[in-house]
Amino acid sequence: MSTRWSTLFAVAFAAACAPRTTDRAAALVTFTAAEYAFQGPDTLAAGLTTLRLVNHGKELHHASIFRLAEGKTLADLQAAMTDVMSGKAPPPAWVSYAGGPNAIDPGDSTTVTEVLAPGHYVVLCMIPGEDGQPHVMKGMLHPLVVTGTAPAAAPALPAADVTVKLSDYDFVFDKPLTAGTHIVRVDNAGPQPHEIVVAELAPGKTAADFVKWETGGEKGPLPANRWLGGVAGLDNGASATFTVTLKPGNYMVVCFWPDAKDGKPHLVHGMIKQITVS
């Protein structure tokens, strides 16, 4: 009897003391990437969401989330992307950029947590294949409808142990990244959209070597060993968190976002930073 009472008491006590997380816990949603398609849900409920990307493919993939303005369709986006990719037009003003998990290697997975507002979205991969064509042009895009109503107060993102501020054209960390697993908060201070992707540098290579490789037509071996995720293109003023596990070594954080003025990736404008993790 006493055991039973103490069990009941323990249960009641735990219930009374448990943080009321039910309305704040992030919904977990998984997208799987392969050549050249995503598998994942077609609809989601609005609110705090953890987006998990699993790369089942043989190439690098990410899941960049574009939001379409009211009345715009996937066909409108596809038509616009053809012109954007061929350099005929800048990205249309009716597209906004809602983050998503950034590039990871085949066999890896990563998570990003962010608040999704109701609306029409497209999950797509902008990473180029060996022929230089972004995967989105090979059909790697997935429409997504976010349903429901936006919460009156934006839900808080998970508590982060490191924050990085993105801006034209810099990454500023509030403290150094160390070995281990971190929740990193990403705040885009703009004015342009930006992304962050973390990569481990190849032995003896530097971030400057990567810029040379990228601007020299990506010839020779990639000066990076492994891509560890981050947050894909994010609007000015937006925030998200991502999880990353680092071991001691040399890394870089990079933004490939096309510049509003010259169309060149932001890394050419200095938006790349080498990091030593100890």
Whole-number Å distance between alpha carbons of 80 and 83: 5
- What distance lies between CA 153 and its chain's CA centroid? 23
> Total residues at the site for Cu ion (CB under 5 A)?
5
Listed ranges 41-49, 103-111, 189-197, 242-250: which one lies at the site for Cu ion (CB under 5 A): 189-197
Q: Which span sits near Cu ion by CB under 5 A: 20-28, 84-92, 176-184, 191-199?
A: 191-199
What minimum distance in Å lies between the beta carbon of 170 and Cu ion?
9
Residue number with CB closer to Cu ion (78 or 236):
236
For the bound state, the minimum distance from the C-beta of residue 37 to Cu ion, rounded and expressed in Å, comes to 27
Among 77, 123, 244, 271, binds Cu ion (CB under 5 A): 271
Which of 255, 267, 272, 273 touches Cu ion (CB under 5 A)? 255
194 binds Cu ion (CB under 5 A): yes
Q: How far is the CB of 101 from Cu ion (least distance, A)?
A: 17
State the nearest-atom distance from the C-beta of 264 to Cu ion, in Å.
Answer: 11
> Which has the closest alpha carbon to 245: 180, 161, 167, 176?
180
State the binding string over 133-162 for Cu ion (x if CB under 5 A, else -): ------------------------------
Q: Contact region for Cu ion (CB under 5 A) — 122-130, 140-148, 188-196, 214-222? A: 188-196
Nearest distance from residue 233's CB to Cu ion, in Å? 8
Q: Which of 62, 67, 120, 266 contacts Cu ion by CB under 5 A? A: 266
Candidate list 96, 103, 257, 273; residue touching Cu ion; CB under 5 A: 257
Distance between first and last Cα of the chain: 55
Q: Is 72 or 165 the residue whose CB approaches Cu ion more closely?
A: 165
Is residue 164 part of the contact set for Cu ion (CB under 5 A)? no
| Residues in contact with Cu ion by the rule CB under 5 A | 194, 255, 257, 266, 271
